Amino acid sequence: MAAEFPHSVLFCCDHNAVRSPMAEGLMKKFYPGQVYVQSAGVHSDLDVDGFAVAVCEELGIELHRHQSRSFDDLKDWGDDISSYDLIIALSPASQRQALELTRYYHLEVEYWPIMDPTGIGETRDAKLDAYRQARDQIITRMQARFGPSSS
């Protein structure tokens, strides 16, 4: 059974270039208007990954305009981490960072162990399959946590 639906969710991963932008896009598609959702990374040194863009486009989710941002960027841009109801970490490094940043707040941090597809596959098709697998892992966890999609 799905847990209580939050008002705001922050997804995070290592670089905010693959898993967390996919999760942000999926959440916006599946639960439109129900939740404020953003994403961030431990670092923001990479652009959104082209394979992540491609596998999300298969579901009608546009990621190519996503601008990567870090936890520091959130603060610099005036987005207070304490204003989120829930932080979902998709990598061990982002979980550690989220727990460190929220240690003085009453804020829930969940860890979803989503595979990092970036080093998997030799051919374009094999790489796309790995990214689809990560995307589908996010979808499975999301629907288990928040219930069936409303779209």
pLDDT digits (tens, 9 = 90+) for 137-148: 999 999 999 998
Alpha-helical (H) ranges within 77-121 are 92-101
Q: Kindly report the pTM of this predicted structure.
A: 0.91
- Domain formed by 8-146, architecture: 3-Layer(aba) Sandwich (3.40)
pLDDT band of 1, cuts 50, 70, 90: very low
What pLDDT is stored for residue 58 in this prediction?
A: 96
Give me the helix-helix angle, 124-146 and 19-30, nearest 10°. 50
Rounded CA separation 39/44 (Å): 11
Residue 78, both tokens = 């005036």
Q: What is the pLDDT of residues 43-55, one digit of tens each?
A: 888 788 899 999 9
Neighbours of 85 (CB within 10 A): 15
Rounded CA separation 27/47 (Å): 20
Answer yes or no: are the C-beta atoms of 52 and 18 closer than 8 Å: yes
